[in-house]
Amino acid sequence: MQGQSLKLGKILGIPFGLDYSWFIIFVLITMSLSTQFAHLHPTWTSAEHIVFGITTSLLFFGSVVLHELGHSALALRYGIPVKSITLFVFGGVAQIAKEPEKPAHEFNIAIAGPMVSTALGVVFHGIRFLTQGTAEGVSSQAEWLGRINLMLALFNLIPGFPLDGGRVLRSLVWKLTGSFERATAAAAASGQFFAYAFIVFGIWQALAGNFFGGLWIGFIGWFLLHAAQSTALQARFRHALRGIKARDVMTGECLQLPGTISLADLVENYLLRQGARCSMVMDGDRFRGLVTLHEITQVPKDEWALTPIQAVMVPEQQMVKVSPDTDIDVVLQVMNEENVSQIPVVENGKLLGIIGRDRLLGLVQIHLQLKA
């Protein structure tokens, strides 16, 4: 287990897991399916209803995984890393490490998922046709799975972020305007419109007597609204920081010290007195590694006096670093992905400066306020 999800392994080299919220929807769908099978097949035992409910539910979530693998396979084809695939209460999500470089790539990655779901819907309806009258249990399962996969494909084609249709819309606007930021803003605005429509419809359904159904539709709308608003903020962020490079914000505030000094010396005589949060380990003019508060706190205090900083530093070869011409939004993205608070700016093996998360977030806030 890690964070909020249960890691199950890898598919196509992609980590696959279950968010803890998934167990809620799995139980609800299984109960609903078991009830449906009880109405369709009253001569079955209760155990048979439950078993068919569980297996159908598992096949449905297997379909969701295949949907996300459709996105992932195209992303990998275009050289875009896929960090993970996770099932959660609202379905599944493939976490792609970066945005596509071309509108055509965006379109193909987005449409792949609904195409997989459509194909599965056709396959399951074919199985239903072949088993009808001979294997009624399998036929009932296939009918529901065929219908739900086609519904999944249609739902995801709604043209608003974060749904696949929103990404299709973004690819088309991107192609027409040549602006990724404008396309993202348009898709996010469309996503917010459909999200509010879901919320209003859900409230209406709840008031009309379909309380739990309406509540669920409203929750879906809330989730879509949150995601669409985050996407809109990201578009503003990209626009505000356009043209700013790592060299424009890097500083030399991080200490530069030889690797032979002890952790105790570093803490007592440098960090506490100067208020610094990190030290770059130097061998003359050569940058060798970085020591931050994280590395220091991993060593017991009674060992600080005997531990040189070079023993705990993150070596330069293992560090996440950027070049001076890296766009600043990419720098922040790398920081978030790698969970680091400082990132060195290096060119041809020479340390030019360092970028701290606090300074970078402060810069983002200033630009968003002044360019709003």
Task: With residue 209 as reference, give the H or E element that holds it.
Answer: none
pTM of the model: 0.72
Q: How confident is the model at residue 371 (pLDDT cuts 50, 70, 90)?
A: low
pLDDT given at position 369? 66
- Residues of the chain above pLDDT 70, percent: 93
Task: Indicate if the pLDDT at residue 2 is higher than 70.
Answer: no
> For the chain, what percent of residues have pLDDT higher than 90?
28
Task: Evaluate whether 206 touches 214 at the Cβ level (below 8 Å).
Answer: yes
pLDDT in tens, 202-260: 999 889 888 888 888 888 889 888 888 887 777 777 666 777 888 887 876 667 888 88
The residues that bridge with 96 in the sheet, in sequence order, are 82
Residue 4 pLDDT level (bands cut at 50, 70, 90): low
Nearest to 347 by CA among 279, 247, 258: 247
As a whole number, the mean pLDDT across the chain is 84
What would you measure as the largest C-alpha separation in the chain, in angstroms?
83
pLDDT tens digits, 353-362: 778 777 777 7
User: Which letter does DSSP use for residue 244 in this model?
Assistant: -
- Compute CA distances 105 → 13, 99, 179, whole Å: 21, 9, 15
Domain 246-370: CATH superfamily, name plus number = CBS-domain (3.10.580.10)
Structure confidence by residue, pLDDT tens digits, 297-349: 888 988 899 999 889 888 877 777 888 888 877 787 777 767 777 788 888 76
Residue 68 annotated in active site: yes
| Residues 33-74: tens digit of each pLDDT | 999 888 888 888 889 899 999 999 999 999 999 999 999 999
Task: Let me know: does 95 contact 41? Beta carbons within 8 Å.
Answer: no
Q: Which band of pLDDT confidence, cut at 50, 70 and 90, is reported for residue 372?
A: low
Instruction: Spot the catalytic one: 48, 68, 268, 295.
Output: 68
Q: In sequence order, what DSSP letters do the residues of 71-94 get, joined into one string?
A: HHHHHHHTT--EEEEEEETTEEEE
- DSSP for 282-343 reads EETTEEEEEEEHHHHHTS-GGGGGG-BHHHHSEEGGGS--B-TTSBHHHHHHHHHHHT-SEE
